[in-house]
């Protein structure tokens, strides 16, 4: 994708290399990416540079980065039609991040709530990378002239600072950087913890029953759903004070396409055992083909590395043009 396809927008999405996605990630974002890629020129990146703000062992970082890249391919994202690459394979990200650091005000960066949250969680490693993380994210976005960026509630601040930096830079040097807008597509479902359904589903939860990983075997998925927290009413209906059942209904709706009224009608007079069995069957039917495709791809190292190399080459061509333009405007001596 060297030039923007006529009438299509450039949409950029990055995902961290933080282990196998959960079913919450899948329904919250990933499942919609395939549709997004049909309607737009899409750039997908595995954000392995962002991953080192917390300590990793080298082997784990390599493994998780490769696995996340394989998941992007397993989701059905076509590497021929999209740019799918590893962030660290394009050195312009680090270069652009340094440049944008010099056009970001300290007060702006210090107001980022994620820095405060991560600092509290990793009090023994409050490094400068945690602080400048949003500026690297701005570099990710602005290098590719993205028209739109899908953002969740926890990333809105980061898109806002990217827009602010781009507008400040353009105010000094002219119309150089494209100011991105948020991508408003089909809203992904918010799937919560199976054990604490008032909290987000998270793969870092110490209670493995609380989340479903896309790598979980069918039997494990079924067991986790059947042990999910519910309530004592034994009535399948969506309502206040029924967080557990609400969560399972959301999961079932994602898999079947049924709305809550239809689900309530189908399970009228039936207990939670019947409903959980149906949810488990629907989730297995949805996830099993994706997991099988992932297992096929992850076993083919040569294919993954060829896709990585091709994706990095396409991404580098776009990023290098932007970086050269930025450096020329600033006044760096170029040869």
**Active-site residue numbers?**
118, 200, 203
Contact 211, 26 (CB under 8 A): no
3-class SS of residue 182: strand
* Distance of alpha carbon 281 from alpha carbon 277, whole angstroms: 6
Report residue 235 as tokens: 């009535």
CA dist 20 and 140 (Å) reads 22
209, 194 contact by CB (below 8 A): yes
Q: What is the DSSP letter of 104?
A: S
Burial track 260-288 (b if 16+ CB lie within 10 A, e otherwise): beebbeebeeeebeebbebbbbbbbebbe
Alpha-carbon gap, residue 287 to 224, rounded angstroms: 14
Strand partners, 44: 13, 84
Residue with tokens 């390599």: 62
End-to-end Cα distance, the chain: 26
User: What token pair was written down for 30?
Assistant: 């990933």
In the block, tokens 């944008």 appear at 100
88's tokens? 């660290």
């Amino acid at each position: 994708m060297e030039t923007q396809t006529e009438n299509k927008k450039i949409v950029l999405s990055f995902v961290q290399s933080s282990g196998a996605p959960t079913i919450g990630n899948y329904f919250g974002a990933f499942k919609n990416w395939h549709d997004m890629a049909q309607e737009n020129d899409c750039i997908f990146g595995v954000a392995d540079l962002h991953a080192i703000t917390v300590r990793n062992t080298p082997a784990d970082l390599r493994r998780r980065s490769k696995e996340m890249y394989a998941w992007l391919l397993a989701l059905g994202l076509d590497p021929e039609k999209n740019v799918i690459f590893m962030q660290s394979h394009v050195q312009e990200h680090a270069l652009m991040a340094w440049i944008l650091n010099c056009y970001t005000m300290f007060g702006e960066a210090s107001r980022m709530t994620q820095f405060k949250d991560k600092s509290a969680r990793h009090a023994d490693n409050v490094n400068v990378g945690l602080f400048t993380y949003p500026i690297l994210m701005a570099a990710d976005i602005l290098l590719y002239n993205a028209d739109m960026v899908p953002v969740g509630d926890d990333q809105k601040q980061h898109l806002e600072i990217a827009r602010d930096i781009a507008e400040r830079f353009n105010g000094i040097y002219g119309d150089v950087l494209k100011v991105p807008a948020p991508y408003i597509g089909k809203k992904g479902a918010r799937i919560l913890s199976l054990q604490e359904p008032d909290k987000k589903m998270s793969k870092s939860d110490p209670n493995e029953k609380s989340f479903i990983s896309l790598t979980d075997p069918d039997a494990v998925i079924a067991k986790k759903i059947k042990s999910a927290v519910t309530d004592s009413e034994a009535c399948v209906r969506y309502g206040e004070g029924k967080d557990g059942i609400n969560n399972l209904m959301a999961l079932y709706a994602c898999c079947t396409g049924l709305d809550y009224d239809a689900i309530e009608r189908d399970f009228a007079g039936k207990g939670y055992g019947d409903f959980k069995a149906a949810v488990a069957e629907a989730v297995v039917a949805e996830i099993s083909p994706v997991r099988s495709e992932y297992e096929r791809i992850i076993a083919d190292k040569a294919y993954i590395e060829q896709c990585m190399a091709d994706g990095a080459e396409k991404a580098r061509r776009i990023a290098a043009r932007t970086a050269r333009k930025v450096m020329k405007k600033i006044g760096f001596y170029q040869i």
